């Protein structure tokens, strides 16, 4: 392989980083950096109409709304219920790692 070719191929895999000017954390997208900046500015673009709690992202807001609505995610193996889908998923992964 020609040295110049190898350098070009390596440069094709360079990941562009977006750095926070306040704390130095780096992100792979400008969107992620913008969301991170809310930590420094104290912005909470999403507010619960029921209890006025603020959220930085829509996912956290929607999970919170599900809790008010009583939404539960049940384990398909043992029936244990969880308020958050990701907690149910972690729980179910534990079933997969246990010997039967």
Contact 17, 29 (CB under 8 A): no
pTM beyond 0.75: the answer is no
Measured distance CA(95)–CA(21) in Å, rounded: 43
Q: Which residue has the tokens 């969107």?
A: 31
**Tens of pLDDT along 1-20?**
455 555 555 555 556 789 99
Measured distance CA(84)–CA(89) in Å, rounded: 9
Measured distance CA(19)–CA(33) in Å, rounded: 7
Domains recognised in the chain with CATH numbers: 44-100 (3.30.160.60)
**Tens of pLDDT along 51-78?**
999 998 898 999 899 999 999 999 999 9
Contact 72, 82 (CB under 8 A): yes
């Amino acid at each position: 392989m020609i040295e110049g070719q190898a350098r070009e191929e390596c440069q094709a895999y360079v990941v562009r980083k977006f750095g926070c000017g306040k704390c130095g954390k780096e992100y792979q997208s400008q969107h992620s950096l913008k969301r991170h900046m809310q930590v420094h500015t104290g912005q909470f673009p999403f507010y619960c109409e029921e209890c006025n709690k603020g959220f930085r992202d829509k996912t956290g807001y929607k999970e919170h709304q599900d809790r008010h609505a009583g939404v539960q995610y049940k384990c398909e193996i043992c029936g244990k219920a969880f308020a958050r889908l990701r907690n149910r998923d972690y729980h179910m992964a534990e079933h997969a790692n246990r010997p039967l």
